[in-house]
Amino acid sequence: TLTEEQAKTAAKETIRGMRYRDDGTGYFWIDARDYTLVMHPVLTKKEGTNRKNLVDQNGVMIIQVIMKATEGGQGGYNEFYFTKADGVTVAPKLAYSAPFAPWGWVITTGNYTDDMTAEMVATVNAIDTSAHQTTILQLVLSLIVIVVAVLIAYAFAKSITRPINQVTDELGDVANGNLA
């Protein structure tokens, strides 16, 4: 029931609102095959501009590598440097782009590799901390089990040796002539 233009507008706005990551910083953007920025939730003022010659600090033609990654109708990964949302920090970004052929769109999302590295380091640190705590807990519990086992063994040994020692003492008394 929608016209194609209405459907495109609805799709753009739906994609504009899509977020991922715990902090909601992950997003998607759309470029047309003619290198025009169709939709970008952060760079809204640049929508409608041609970004064919957008180049990063290393000379990578960003939109061109995005388009190249989707040649043949398949999605693909691409890497480039881009300015973060703070408008100052330039960092390496790993992106994935997939074509939507009916409208000549390429939908892309990406994550800054320094953010991914920081998250991985935080995860490794959390795992290390947890493993350390688990190891300490296991050692404490093992020590408690050993102490309890020794106490139980001592009590059990006493319960066995007490009557034997008592009989031995009494037989010693009999051997010494005490028949009482």
Q: Write the pLDDT tens digit of every residue in 117-161.
A: 888 899 999 999 999 999 999 999 999 999 999 999 999 999 999
pLDDT digits (tens, 9 = 90+) for 104-116: 999 999 998 888 8
Contacting residues for 172 by C-beta, under 8 A, at least 6 apart: none
Q: Dihedral sign for Cα 156, 159, 164, 166, please.
A: positive
**111/133 Cα distance (integer angstroms):** 32
Q: What is the pTM of this model?
A: 0.69
Instruction: Evaluate if residue 87 carries a pLDDT over 90.
Output: no
pLDDT digits (tens, 9 = 90+) for 28-76: 999 999 999 999 998 999 999 999 999 999 999 999 999 999 988 899 9
pLDDT band at 174 (very low <50, low <70, confident <90, very high): confident
Q: State residue 178's pLDDT score.
A: 81
DSSP code, position 117: H
Angle, vertex CA 165, rays to CA 163 and CA 153, nearest 5: 70
Q: State residue 88's pLDDT score.
A: 87
CA 45 to chain centre: 33
